[in-house]
Each structure stands twice: as C-alpha cells, then as structure tokens.
Amino acid sequence: MKPCKLFALVATLAATLPSMSAHAADNRVARIFDPEMIGANLAYFEQVAGPARNSYSDTNIYKVDGCEITARVSKGTIAWLRMDVSPSCSFNLTPFVPSLGAELPPVHQLTFGSFDEATRNSGRYMADCLTQCGNAADPVVQELWQGSRAEMGLEIMLEAAQVEGPALAAADAWQQAMEQAEGTEWVSQARFNCGPNKYDAIAREAFRNVTISSISIGYKLLVPECGR
C-alpha cells in the first residue's frame, strides 16, 4: 500500500473512533439495564459492568462509562439496579414493561406524566421528606410501580430530586395541598407514605411534566418509611 493511501486510511479510522467509542458506551449501559440482568449471577453481571468501585455490605457501586450504577446483591444475584440518568446515562425502559403495550421514551427524557399514562396511573407517590429535610442529602420524591405477571412483579421506582425548578415547584404544590387537608405535622411526619394514597392524584398532576432524575429497577426496592 502506498504511504499516501495508508495515511488516508489511518486518518479515516481515527475520525471514526469517537463515534465508535460513544456507541460502545451506549451499548454497555444498555446491556446492564436489560431485563435479563435482574436476578443474574454477580459474576455474569460483572462481565459487563466490570469490578465494583466500592462495596458496602450487600450494595456495590460501579462506574460504567461515566455512569454511577448501584446494584443490590442478594445471595450472589442482582436484586435491583439504580442509576442517576442523563443524556449519556440512559437506556430503553420499554423491554422491562411488556404488559403496557407502550413505547416509552429513553429514561433521561422520561417524565412522570408519560410513565403514569403508560401505567394507567397505577404508581404510588412517596417521599423521604417534604419539610424539615435537613442538609444530609437532597430530598427526593419517588413513584413506585409494580408490574403484572408479564413483568413477574418487577418493581420500578422513578425519582426526582427536590433541588430547583419544576421538581421543587411540584413538590411544594403537593406539600401545600396535603398541609391544607391534613395539617403541617402530618406532612412533616411523612404520614403520606403510610397509605391509602389519597393524594396521589394531586402528585400526578403536579409532577406531570417533571423529568425523572434517577431510576431503580428490580425487587424489594428501598422505599421511604411510613412516618418518621
């Protein structure tokens, strides 16, 4: 091969490397957030995710192509997975919910409203706190949904951090409606997590256009306590 042609070939390959790398990164996260990974052996999971960056009792933290993924390990298998979502940390949720018959957007574009529409408003809204939250961590509002037999009872939890913008405004609207009906102490004690969920309709309307910030998928997900 002539030097000029060899140089041109090398230049062409070099130009394609960024797109190839990005495509591989997308596939790696998508391979982790695949229905077959829930319940998979840890060794099988780590063939894709790599070794854990940190381990705490039965919880492992992985760094995968810039995305932090948390895995709860139970008896050597993956019980659930969690990830903060962004355009570079995203996947297709649709394969996890075959019974819905709906095509959901990528999780970094998923709103509570689009999920509620697909699940026919069957999720349950909760929060670790809405008032007097302290400064230990950003408070979040969660929606927990459990699948049918087609999903083998799989649980999905959507989260929105109450930091600023639409999520904070939605949390304030939900809080004020419950305080007006039940009083400030009832809300500050997080009694809204105890059920029956008579204020879910208000939460659905408030969070309709809020994009999720994190997602968890699996079994026996960690949920806020009833009262505090």
**153 compared with 134, residue with greater pLDDT:** 153
DSSP notation for 23-64: HHHHHHHHHHSSGGGTT-BHHHHHHHH-S-SEEETTEEEEEE
What CA–CA distance (Å, rounded) separates 94 from 175?
31
Compute the residue count for the chain.
228
What CA–CA distance (Å, rounded) separates 16 from 12?
7
**62 compared with 134, residue with greater pLDDT:** 62
In this prediction the pTM is: 0.86
* 55-78 mean pLDDT: 97
- pLDDT of residue 17 exceeding 80, the answer is no
What CA–CA distance (Å, rounded) separates 111 from 128?
20
Which pLDDT tens digit goes with each residue over 165-208?
A: 999 999 999 999 999 999 999 999 999 999 778 899 999 999 99
- Predicted local distance difference test score (pLDDT) of residue 19: 35
- Predicted local distance difference test score (pLDDT) of residue 136: 59
